[in-house]
Structure 1
Amino acid sequence: MSEGSGNPTFRPHSDVWVGVSLMAIGGYGAWLASGFDALSRTYPIALSVSLIVLGALLVAKGARQRLETVPFKISGQAALFATLTLAAWIIALTSGLGYLLPTFVMQLVFLLLCGVSGYRKIILIAATITAVSYLAFIVGLGVRLPATLMPWIL
C-alpha cells in the first residue's frame, strides 16, 4: 500500500532486477551460442535457456509481491571490507598461497559480514563451501590453479 492511500503500488523488488539480468545474460548467451557448431552449442544453449526461465520466474515472483518499500542498504564500511577481502583472496590465490586456505578465510570473513553467528557454524559452512567449490571447479571441471608455493595446502 502506498502511504496515504488505499491503492496498492508496485515497486520493483530486487528479485525483479535479478530476474531481468538473468534473462538478459541468458539471451545474450543463447545468441552467442547460436553461432557455434551443432555439437558445441547444445550445452551453452541449454544453460542460457535455463537462465532465461529462472529469470522469468524471479520476475513473476517479484511482480506478484506488493511492497511498501524495498530497502537496500549496505554499510559503506561493510562493502569496503568485503571488497578488500575479495581483493586479498585474488592476491593470495595468484601469489601462490594455494586455493583452500585463502578461500576458507574469505568465506569466514563473508559469513561474519553477513551476520552468521556461532563460530562452529561459521567454520562448518566455510569449510563446506570451500570443499564443494574445490571439488566442483578444480576436480570436476578441471579449472587450473596458479602454481602454489605450498603444494601441500593446495
Structure 2
Amino acid sequence: MPLSSSSPASSGAAMRNVDFWVGLILTGAGGYALFEASGFDAASRVFPMAVASLLLVLGFMLFLNCIIRGTGRPLPLREIGLVLLCVVLVGGWALLLKARLGFALSTFLLQLGLAWLAGERQPLRLVAFAALITVVTYLIFVVVLDVRLPRSILSFIAPGL
C-alpha cells in the first residue's frame, strides 16, 4: 500500500519508509561528524564542519518530511543486506585509518570490497579498479587540494600513504 503524500503517515508506515531510515542515519552521521570536526584545529575544521552541518540539516529535513507528509518509498527489505555490507566496509575503512594503516592501503581495501559488492569478480579488474580509484583520490587530496592525510605506518614512503 503506497504512502499518501496528502495525509500524515502513521508511525508504523513511516518506519517502513526508506526515507525515514536514511534521514535518521544521515542526521546521526552528520551529528557525529560535526562533533568530531569540532575537535580539529581552527585551520582544518571549517570544511568538515560545513559538510557535517549540511549532512545533519538535510538528513533531518528528509526525516521530518517523511514523518509529517508521509512521502517516500517503501523499505526495500531485499537490499538491506547489501547496504549493511557497504556500511561495514566504510566502517572498516575508518577503523583502518584510525589504526594508522594509511589512506592508500585503507582506500584500496575499501574499493576492492565495493567493487566486489557491485558485481565485479575478475581479480585483475578488481585490483586495477581499486588501484585507479586509490591513486586518483590520493592525488586529488594530496597534490591538488594539499590536504594533510592521517599519519600512517608507511608515512616514511609518502605522506598519508
Q: Output the TM-score relative to the length of structure 1.
A: 0.50
Aligned to 2:115: 111
CA distance in 2, matches of 1:16, 1:102: 31
Q: Provide the residue aligned with 2:55 in structure 1.
A: 51
For 2:152 and 2:61, the matched residues in 1 are separated by 38
Identity %: 29
Q: How many residues are matched?
A: 135
How far apart are 1:146 and its partner, in Å?
1.7
More deviation in 47-56 or 64-73? 64-73
User: How far, CA to CA, are the matches of 2:107 and 2:44 in structure 1?
Assistant: 32
The CA distance in 2 between the partners of 1:115 and 1:128, in whole Å, is: 17
With normalisation by structure 2, the TM-score equals 0.49
Q: Which residue of structure 2 aligns with residue 131 of structure 1?
A: 135
Letter in 1 for 2:26: L
1:65 paired with 2:69, answer: no
What is the root-mean-square deviation in Å for CA atoms of aligned residues?
4.9
- Per the TM alignment, residue 145 of structure 1 is displaced from its structure 2 partner at its CA by 2.8
Q: Show the 5 A alignment for 1:79-90.
A: 86=92, 90=96
**Structure 2 residue ranges without an equivalent (≥5):** 3-8
- SS of equivalent to 2:77: coil
Task: Give the residue type in structure 2 aligned to 1:112.
Answer: W
Contact 1:10 1:67 in 2 (8 A): no
Q: Which residue of 1 aligns with 2:147?
A: 141
Sort the Cα spacing of 1:146 and 1:48 in 2 relative to 1 into closer, same or farther, 3 A.
closer
Instruction: Please give the per-residue CA displacement for 1:110-153, whole angstroms capped at 9, x wherever unaligned.
Output: 3113324666764554234312432355453212432429838x
**TM-superposed deviation, 1:108:** 1.9
* Residue of structure 1 equivalent to 2:6: none
Task: Answer whether contact 1:26 1:51 (CA < 8 A) is retained.
Answer: yes
Larger Cα-atom Rg: 1
Check if 1:100 corresponds to 2:127.
Answer: no
